[in-house]
Amino acid sequence: MADEKLHFGTCTLCEAMCGIEVKHDGKKVLSIKGDKNDPFSKGYICPKATALQDLYEDPDRLRQPVERTVDGWKEISWPEAFDKVAAGIQKLQKKYGNNSLGIYLGNPNVHNMGSMLTTKHLLTSLKSRSRFSATSIDQLPHHVVCMHLFGHMLRIPVPDVNRTQHMLIIGGNPLASNGSIMTAPNMRQKIKDIKARNGKVVVIDPRRTETAELSSEHHFIRPATDVLLLLAMLNEIYQQGFANTPSSTSTSTSTSTSNRAAALAPEIDRIATFAQDYSAESVASITGISAAEIKRLVKEYCEADSAVMYGRMGVSVQEFGLLSQYLIMVMNIVTGRLDEVGGLMFPNPAVDLVNNTGPGYLGKRFTRVSKLPDFNGDYPVAAMADEMLVAGDGQLKGFINVAGNPVLSTPNGEKLDKALEQLEFMVSVDPMINETSRHANIILPPVSPLERDHYDLTFNGFAVHNTAKYSPALFAKKANEKHDWEITLELAKRLNKNAPMATKIERWLTKVLGPKFLLGQGLKRGPYPQVNLKTLKQNPHGIDLGPLQNMLPQGLKHKDKKIHLNVDFYQADLERVKEMMQQYNDSQILLIGRRHVRSNNSWMHNSQRLVKGKSRCTLMLHPETAKQQGIENGQSVNVTSRVGNVNIEAEITDELMPGVVSIPHGWGHGRKGIEQKIAQANAGVSVNDLTDDTLIDKLCGNAAVNGVPVTLEALH
């Protein structure tokens, strides 16, 4: 057709940054395909990309602000909404103090250039320390480890999957997540490529995931015992003579070259005895992996020409998530795999957030009720409900929820649901009336992804290949709609009228020129002089900046350009590990989550093309477990934890190891007051009605939503 046009952009629905080719007529999307000329994704897209059209067209999506009244939701104008929000916040803070207002930032914020570049104005204007974010139910351990070792919370190395010969994946399912703290589109092909060059991919996971199915080998592990396996593996590296450090004598030809990273770590010699109390034999019965297999896994990893160890969600969101991620990082270092081709390498993005943000900190303040540490100003989400429910000085009386649905995505969702219900004032910045935003007094809806400019500020920093790409909005927003950054700036203007002149000027320039003005500033300060906003606009498919390169020692942010292993901090946590081993109960049934490539998050279930087909919200369990519990395939099962229970259909499969059950993340759309017709028709249950807000990684406050003890009862 003559009026058909092509638009090239980036899918923003997960971390993979896939290039998309959108065929449209100026008003409607006609098709969405992978952009074959994108230097990063090379034509690959997963099923989610086509749902960008559904998000844009969704009849349930709010276009105007709404206010909750006794007669239901009522549309109000933007000026009236902003006035009421500002007045509500000011009244609340005047009555109870600035910290009586909490704010939660959901993970869509980091997929959004406008939010990334302007949220600071809102946070500053609120003058509240009561901040929470999705970080503490996800990747917090990665940030803390990298802050300690490399001097900045965002200096995170990623697997060089395009060149490695041996990849050991622990608690990660990159085929479903498209990477995750490893931005890597088309992981299926990348794993096939490793095997095609006579390499090996090993997966350790309580479930035989999509990634495990494709891997060279898979080992079941008892949930939340990863820390024991990792300690035993570290011990074995030294026992077998594979440690490649300045003071060690290596017997391995593959690690006989000098280890540049280890030479930069003054405390490296202390790692030799860190795990000496954990032999492969001592952890075999608890982990479910034999001593012989542990020893073989270590030997093959260390003898490979290049190798990388990678742990993700299954490792992070458990009671020893931080110590486990530390051990993974340490093993990459002592075996000479850090900052080496085919190992764990540092991306070098065109907008360098590391050199333009603070390094981060842990434990400057602690939550009022449960005494959990903050990280970089954010309190752990596991503490959020108690901060609202427990009376006393500093109790949260109001709340702003920005692009999050914590009722479905944080532990003990029922408790948080009740906590939100009794707040005096709540605001949601969200395009939908969902399980969380239904509690708001006012909802301020931003436009959909196809109506905003995009440059990936966050995930270029985790990318397995360096590229840069700017995507202008496909469709112009309508006059009565607002970008998220416009909402943020308008609230900041009303709430912080006495801001410094420099702040007022930046807000005004951003309002007039849009966030791309700030992007241009960031590119000018970046490591690639040839990359600026003009060159990005001239290259709509993106610019290839080359494979990952050696970054040490220059990439270290500590002033002494050393790796700070911070051994005392992590060694102290071994006391908790000993207690866990002594008290371990192997008769418990343990709950784990799971992800699916079509539904990474709770907000993707109002798209028919993503939820169609057989229900994915099932209780997976092994035939042996089902037999012991008297459960038949397809039967309804009552699953109970310390905090709640759900009824869910059983799916009997040998994908799970015995004694382990799995419920996917992000479902549970059956609550009253939701206005998402497709999601409601495919409600499922929320796994976070079972996860326990008292199960936490005490070292950093991260939520432990893997390895939750549950009981099962077949419903007849």
The closest alpha carbon to 237, from 305, 299, 168, 322, belongs to: 299
Task: Kindly state whether residues 337 and 231 are assigned to the same domain.
Answer: yes
Confidence of residue 1 (pLDDT cuts 50, 70, 90): low
Q: Which of 345, 377, 394 is the last residue of a domain?
A: 345
3-state secondary structure of 567: helix
Does a structural domain hold residue 508?
Answer: no
Task: Kindly state whether residues 539 and 464 are assigned to the same domain.
Answer: yes
Task: Kindly state whether residues 466 and 382 are assigned to the same domain.
Answer: no
The closest alpha carbon to 601, from 357, 461, 488, 436, belongs to: 436
The closest alpha carbon to 183, from 340, 327, 11, belongs to: 11
Q: Higher-confidence residue: 104 or 716?
A: 104
Beta carbons within 8 Å of 713's beta carbon, 6+ residues apart: 629, 637, 638, 640
Per-residue pLDDT reduced to its tens digit, 182-195:
999 999 999 999 99
3-state secondary structure of 32: strand
Task: Kindly state whether residues 341 and 227 are assigned to the same domain.
Answer: yes
Does a structural domain hold residue 703?
Answer: yes
- 């009605």: which residue's tokens? 689
CATH number at residue 591: 2.40.40.20
Q: What is the largest CA-CA distance in the chain?
A: 76
Does a structural domain hold residue 507?
Answer: no
CATH number at residue 431: 3.40.50.740
Does a structural domain hold residue 19?
Answer: yes
Beta carbons within 8 Å of 593's beta carbon, 6+ residues apart: 313, 317, 662, 663, 664, 665, 687, 705, 706
In contact, 7 and 474? CB cutoff 8 Å: yes
Per-residue pLDDT reduced to its tens digit, 467-514:
999 999 999 999 999 999 999 999 999 999 999 999 999 999 999 999
Q: What is the predicted pLDDT for the residue at 250?
A: 47
Q: Which of 317, 345, 373 is the last residue of a domain?
A: 345
The closest alpha carbon to 622, from 600, 649, 597, 655, belongs to: 655
3-state secondary structure of 71: coil
Q: What is the predicted pLDDT for the residue at 249?
A: 52
Q: What is the mean pLDDT of residues 42-58?
A: 93
Query: How many structural domains is the chain composed of?
Result: 4
19-49 burial, b for 16+ CB within 10 Å, e for fewer?
bbbbebeeeebeebebbeebbbbeebbbebb
Report the distance separating Cα 243 and Cα 263, nearest Å.
13
- Helices 226-239 and 574-583 meet at what angle, rounded to 10? 110
Per-residue pLDDT reduced to its tens digit, 513-567:
999 999 999 999 999 999 999 999 999 999 999 999 999 999 999 999 999 999 9
Q: Is the dihedral of CA 549, 555, 560, 562 positive or negative?
A: negative
Per-residue pLDDT reduced to its tens digit, 365-409:
999 999 999 999 999 999 999 999 999 999 999 999 999 999 999
Task: Kindly state whether residues 165 and 237 are assigned to the same domain.
Answer: yes
Mean pLDDT (the chain, rounded) = 95
DSSP string, 210-240: HHHHHSSEEE---TT-HHHHHHHHHHHHHHT
Q: What is the predicted pLDDT for the residue at 153?
A: 98
Per-residue pLDDT reduced to its tens digit, 596-651:
887 767 778 999 988 988 888 999 999 999 999 999 999 999 999 999 999 999 99
Does a structural domain hold residue 497?
Answer: no
In contact, 267 and 327? CB cutoff 8 Å: no
Cα dihedral: 482, 487, 490, 492 (round 10): -170
Report the distance separating Cα 595 and Cα 30, nearest Å.
29
Q: What percent of the chain has pLDDT over 90?
A: 93
Does a structural domain hold residue 429?
Answer: yes
Task: Kindly state whether residues 49 and 77 are assigned to the same domain.
Answer: no
Q: What is the mean pLDDT of residues 248-268?
A: 74
Task: Kindly state whether residues 238 and 307 are assigned to the same domain.
Answer: yes
pLDDT at 652 over 50: yes
Q: What is the predicted pLDDT for the residue at 597?
A: 81
Q: What is the mean pLDDT of residues 155-171?
A: 98
Does a structural domain hold residue 561?
Answer: no
Q: Which of 310, 345, 380 is the last residue of a domain?
A: 345
Q: Domain range spanning residue 130? A: 66-137+353-444
Task: Kindly state whether residues 170 and 310 are assigned to the same domain.
Answer: yes
pLDDT at 197 over 80: yes
Q: Quote the Cα angle for 173-556-316, to 5°.
A: 25
Task: Kindly state whether residues 170 and 221 are assigned to the same domain.
Answer: yes
Per-residue pLDDT reduced to its tens digit, 106-140:
999 999 999 999 999 999 999 999 999 999 999 99
Report the distance separating Cα 147 and Cα 141, nearest Å.
10
DSSP string, 601-642: SGGGTT-HHHH-SS----EEE-HHHHHHHT--TT-EEEEE-S
In contact, 557 and 150? CB cutoff 8 Å: yes
In contact, 602 and 610? CB cutoff 8 Å: no
CATH number at residue 315: 3.40.228.10
Task: Kindly state whether residues 171 and 270 are assigned to the same domain.
Answer: yes
Report the distance separating Cα 612 and Cα 673, nearest Å.
23
CATH number at residue 28: 3.30.200.210
Q: How far is CA 312 from CA 225, 304, 321, in A?
A: 14, 22, 9
Task: Kindly state whether residues 338 and 362 are assigned to the same domain.
Answer: no
Neighbours of 454 (CB within 10 A): 24
Does a structural domain hold residue 502?
Answer: no
Task: Kindly state whether residues 94 and 220 are assigned to the same domain.
Answer: no
